[in-house]
């Protein structure tokens, strides 16, 4: 009998679900034992349910091919087989809120990639290197849900991971104003070029709901736990534009920043390169050894060269230079389905296990 924690994937047939499954292959702490999806996939083997829609660049892991997919709505049945679940379900916001709470109430921790609970007062939204102290909210959430071990934890939007880590690294210089334009890969919409041929040689200047998330979620990450909820930070002011570009994986951000203090370029780069957090301190299995790399070449970071830095768990920053109107400007890059989605949730689960929030049932 394996001493690994038994994991279920809710929404396991979609792109983020597939990324969860590929990242968890041979994971030292976690083992995928259950996959749940929509009723139309239930009863089929995972291989049959996905069919020709496997979107990862690595083959489907052998260990999951013959797992019979369960109906994600059979909450008690799915929960009875696992220690915790990752959630990547494709439903309406209200349906997601309800089903994730239903799983939590079966005493099953839910680590979610979805946005539905990101603004629920007592649900922690965490990037493990940036704001792990927000997991303090879990005790308040358990009181509300009436659970002993069941809770929901979420990760933030994929687009903010390419620039928010830099803002945290530069906190001591007190950023006051941030203008960011993100150039977002099509896998962020759960698509490949095969599914979305009209994206080839094309740019779409609108991604529904993305700009509000990109402007507000960093302020929640920077907030403090006060009376069982997050008091959102009021600074820096952040304004964004979010654009879909013909790239498979990797969200790039072009960012302008003003600071209250006036750091030098050397101070800013040193702060990036020295920045680390609990995942590095605890040597978690998926943690990048160096969370943020700074690239000196003028033509970096590039998606083609840098998106898989630290197996997709690291963040790349480059082109830091003084601006005519702002203090500094830079370009950031992160892997949107690894660091920005499934991988960020896996790293969160590793930290939750290390801190005793996720245990065997």
- The answer to whether residues 132 and 278 touch, using CB atoms and an 8 Å cutoff, is yes
Q: How far is Cα 108 from Cα 150, in angstroms, rounded to an integer?
A: 5
Q: What Å distances lie between residue 18 and 25, 65, 155, 272, CA to CA?
A: 11, 12, 17, 32
- The answer to whether residues 328 and 169 touch, using CB atoms and an 8 Å cutoff, is no
Give Cα 347 distance to the centre of its chain.
9
Tens digits of residue pLDDT in 305-327: 999 999 999 999 999 999 999 99
Tens digits of residue pLDDT in 74-105: 999 999 999 999 999 999 999 999 999 999 99
Beta strands in 52-137 (DSSP E): 70-71, 84-87, 110-112
pLDDT for 86 equals: 98
Low-confidence ranges of the chain (pLDDT < 70): 1
Residue with tokens 């952040």: 238
pLDDT for 2 equals: 74
Q: How far is Cα 214 from Cα 209, in angstroms, rounded to an integer?
A: 9
Q: How far is Cα 337 from Cα 342, in angstroms, rounded to an integer?
A: 6
Edge-to-edge strand order for the sheet containing 251-259?
237-244, 175-184, 251-259, 328-334, 315-322, 292-295
Which positions are annotated as active-site residues? 158, 251
Q: How far is Cα 54 from Cα 94, in angstroms, rounded to an integer?
A: 28
| pTM of the predicted protein model | 0.97
């Amino acid at each position: 009998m394996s001493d690994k924690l038994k994991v279920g994937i809710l929404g396991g047939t979609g792109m983020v679900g597939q990324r969860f499954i590929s990242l968890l292959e041979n994971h030292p702490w976690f083992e995928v034992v259950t996959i749940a999806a929509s009723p139309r996939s239930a009863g089929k083997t995972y291989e049959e349910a996905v069919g020709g829609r496997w979107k990862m660049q690595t083959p489907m892991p052998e260990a999951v091919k013959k797992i019979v997919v369960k109906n994600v709505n059979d909450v008690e049945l799915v929960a009875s087989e696992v220690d915790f679940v990752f959630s990547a379900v494709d439903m309406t916001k209200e349906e997601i809120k309800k089903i994730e709470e239903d799983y939590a109430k079966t005493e099953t921790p839910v680590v979610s990639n979805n946005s539905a609970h990101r603004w629920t007062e007592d649900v922690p939204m965490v990037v493990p290197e940036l704001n792990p102290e927000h997991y303090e909210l879990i005790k308040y959430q358990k009181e509300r849900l009436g659970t002993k071990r069941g809770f929901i934890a979420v990760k933030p939007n994929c687009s903010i991971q390419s620039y928010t880590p830099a803002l945290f690294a530069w906190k001591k210089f007190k950023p006051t104003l941030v203008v960011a334009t993100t150039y977002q890969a099509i896998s962020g919409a759960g698509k490949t070029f095969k599914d979305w041929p009209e994206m080839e040689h094309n740019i779409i200047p609108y991604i529904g709901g993305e700009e509000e998330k990109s402007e507000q979620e960093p302020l929640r990450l920077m907030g403090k736990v006060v009376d069982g909820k997050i008091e959102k930070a009021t600074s820096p002011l952040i304004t964004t534009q979010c654009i879909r570009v013909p790239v498979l994986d990797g969200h790039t951000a072009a960012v302008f920043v003003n600071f209250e203090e006036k750091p030098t370029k050397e101070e800013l780069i040193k702060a990036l390169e020295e920045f680390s957090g609990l995942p590095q301190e605890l040597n978690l299995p998926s943690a990048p050894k160096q969370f943020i790399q700074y690239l000196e070449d003028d033509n970096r970071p590039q998606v083609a060269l840098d998106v898989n830095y630290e197996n997709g768990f690291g963040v790349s920053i480059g082109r830091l230079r003084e601006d005519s109107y702002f203090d500094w400007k830079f370009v950031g890059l992160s892997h949107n389905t690894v660091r920005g989605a499934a991988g960020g949730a896996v790293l969160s689960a590793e930290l939750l296990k290390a801190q005793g929030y996720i245990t065997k049932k």
